């Protein structure tokens, strides 16, 4: 009985709230909607500022922007409804429905279908869920409708651009980001987003147009990490591996320890180093490995054997990269640094090998930021 009494009180309170809303003048409702829209637009600006300062990464910024965009669109639609208004007779009918029909239907439906014993759904877990593509497509359609009515809404273009990227429509995303820059002005993040869309539209090639956008994204006082990433890709594309490392190294040196892009940056260095994988055990060896401890012992034996062989016959740069990487993976950073020093001495006259060794050292944190 206590639960049903609570439901009755909650329903009555909700009804009076609805009746109070219906009794307010339409200008007041429209004004409230306008205030909501201002709050949501401020939230979009704040997300952009947090992203620029490195407080959140691209994925977090995109997810937050999508959610705020949903609320902004809902507020806009409420504004349209408020401005259109309803006749006095219709409001009275709505009030009667709210007073009588809604509680009756709601309580009846809950009595039949409700499950008050179900566990709750914490906000944190729901925020971690990925929005499905259908919802993103529906949201994009709603933004497109709003932009058709107001094509100079720069905020709308900046919202729909990431949606197009998530939906695999990079050409439309590039158009959206271009419009956002034209209307709202150039910022490092907007230029980097434009360049990324052009890169995706060109099937992973940094075109001259994309390169220009990336160059603009790193030219100011707050350069875009994303822009630096893609300019490094452009250097690699041109065969300049040393230039790629030079593009990324200052970013790593200046990155705070909690920078959201730090792991991705180190991963990019390791990708540039192109470390060959350790050879897998033979079928006979694999048959003897039964436990995790046996597997670890096997790997250590293999790595020690590789180190002994390289100390005797030198080996090539790929084998030295493999040794340095394996020592670090096993947690023996001192031996990893020793191997790195020996490799640098051996390949001191080979510029490409030296660059790959430097990239691996930066990627593993053996030197540079995060060392």
- pLDDT, residue 17, reads 56
Residues 30 and 109 in one domain: yes
Q: Is residue 264 part of a domain?
A: no
Q: How many CB atoms lie within 10 A of CB 339?
A: 27
Residue 94: pLDDT over 90:
no
Q: Is residue 110 part of a domain?
A: yes
Give the chain's mean pLDDT.
Answer: 79
Residues 32 and 84 in one domain: yes
Residues 230 and 192 in one domain: yes
Residues 8 and 112 in one domain: yes
**Whole-number Å distance between alpha carbons of 357 and 272:** 10
Residues 138 and 221 in one domain: yes
Q: Is residue 359 part of a domain?
A: yes
Any alpha helices (H) in the chain, and if so which ranges?
A: 2-23, 26-52, 58-84, 88-96, 102-113, 123-127, 133-149, 154-166, 170-184, 188-201, 208-217, 225-237, 241-254, 262-273, 283-288, 292-313, 317-329, 333-346, 351-364
Residues 111 and 164 in one domain: no
Q: Is residue 41 part of a domain?
A: yes
Residues 150 and 205 in one domain: yes
Q: Which domain holds residue 302?
A: 283-364
- pLDDT, residue 280, reads 85
* pTM exceeding the 0.75 threshold for the entire prediction: no
Number of domains in the chain: 3
- pLDDT, residue 261, reads 87
Backbone torsions φ then ψ of 138, nearest 5 degrees: -65, -40
**Residue of 200 and 315 predicted with greater confidence:** 200
Model confidence over 141-183: pLDDT tens digits? Answer: 898 999 999 999 999 999 999 999 999 999 999 999 999 999 9
Residues 69 and 112 in one domain: yes
Q: Is residue 317 part of a domain?
A: yes
**Whole-number Å distance between alpha carbons of 79 and 36:** 10
Residues 199 and 153 in one domain: yes
- pLDDT, residue 25, reads 47
pLDDT-based confidence at residue 218 (cuts at 50, 70, 90): very high
Residues 85 and 141 in one domain: no
Q: Is residue 248 part of a domain?
A: no
Q: How many CB atoms lie within 10 A of CB 281?
A: 15
Residues 198 and 303 in one domain: no
- pLDDT, residue 335, reads 95
Residues 175 and 209 in one domain: yes
Residue 39: pLDDT over 80:
no
Q: Is residue 49 part of a domain?
A: yes
Supply the DSSP symbol for 129.
S
Which residue among 181, 206, 238 closes a domain? 238
């Amino acid at each position: 009985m206590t639960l049903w009494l609570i439901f009755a009180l909650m329903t009555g309170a909700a009804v009076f709230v609805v009746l109070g809303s219906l009794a307010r003048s339409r200008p007041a409702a429209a004004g409230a909607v306008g205030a909501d829209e201002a709050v949501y637009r401020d939230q979009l600006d704040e997300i952009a500022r947090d992203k620029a300062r490195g407080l959140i990464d691209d994925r977090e910024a995109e997810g937050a922007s999508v959610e705020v965009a949903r609320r902004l669109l809902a507020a806009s639609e409420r504004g349209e409804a408020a401005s259109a208004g309803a006749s006095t007779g219709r409001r009275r009918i709505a009030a009667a429905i709210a007073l009588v029909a809604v509680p009756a239907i709601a309580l009846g439906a809950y009595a039949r279908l409700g499950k008050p014993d179900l566990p709750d759904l914490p906000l944190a877990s729901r925020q971690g869920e990925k929005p499905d593509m259908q919802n993103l497509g529906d949201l994009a359609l709603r933004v497109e409708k709003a932009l058709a009515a107001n094509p100079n809404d720069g905020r709308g273009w900046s919202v729909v651009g990431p949606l197009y990227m998530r939906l695999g429509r990079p050409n439309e995303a590039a158009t959206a980001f271009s419009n956002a820059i034209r209307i709202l002005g150039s910022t490092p993040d907007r230029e980097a987003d434009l360049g990324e869309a052009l890169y995706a539209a060109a099937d992973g090639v940094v075109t001259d147009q994309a390169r220009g956008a990336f160059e603009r994204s790193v030219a100011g006082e707050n350069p875009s990490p994303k822009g630096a990433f893609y300019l490094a890709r452009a250097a690699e594309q041109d065969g300049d591996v040393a230039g790629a490392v030079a593009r990324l190294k200052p970013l790593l040196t200046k990155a705070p320890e909690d920078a959201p892009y730090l792991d991705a940056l180190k991963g990019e260095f390791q990708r540039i180093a192109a470390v060959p994988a350790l050879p897998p055990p033979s079928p006979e060896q694999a048959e003897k490995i039964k436990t995790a401890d046996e597997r670890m012992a096997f790997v250590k034996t293999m790595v020690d054997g590789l180190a002994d062989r390289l100390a005797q016959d030198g080996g090539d740069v790929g084998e030295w990269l493999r040794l340095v990487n394996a020592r670090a993976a096993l947690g023996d950073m001192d031996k990893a640094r020793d191997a790195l020093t020996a490799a640098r001495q051996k390949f001191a006259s080979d510029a490409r090998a030296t660059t790959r060794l430097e990239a691996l050292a930066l990627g593993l944190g053996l030197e540079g930021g995060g060392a």
